[in-house]
Amino acid sequence: MKDRETDLIIQLASNLVNAIRKLEPQFESAFYRFFVEDYQLESCSSYTVPGDVFIVSALDQDEFFVSMNDICLELMQEMEKSPGLLLITVHKNFDYKIEFEYENMNKWNISLLDGGIGIPTE
- Give tens-digit pLDDT for 5-28: 999 999 999 999 999 999 999 999
Q: Which domains does the chain have, with CATH numbers?
A: 3-101 (3.30.500.20)
Q: How confident is the model at residue 39 (pLDDT cuts 50, 70, 90)?
A: confident
Q: Half-sphere exposure of residue 93, counting CA atoms within 13 Å on the CB side? A: 2
Show the CA angle centred on residue 94, arms to residues 92 and 99, nearest 5°.
105
DSSP state, 110? Answer: -
pLDDT of residue 56: 96
- 82 neighbors 37 (Cβ within 8 angstroms): yes
Number of H helices, E strands in the chain: 2, 5
Measured at the CA of 21, the angle between CA 20 and CA 27, to 5 degrees, comes to 80
Whether the CB-CB separation of 83 and 7 falls below 8 Å is answered with no
Give the separation between CA 3 and CA 78, rounded to whole angstroms: 10
* Per-residue pLDDT at 31 exceeds 90: yes
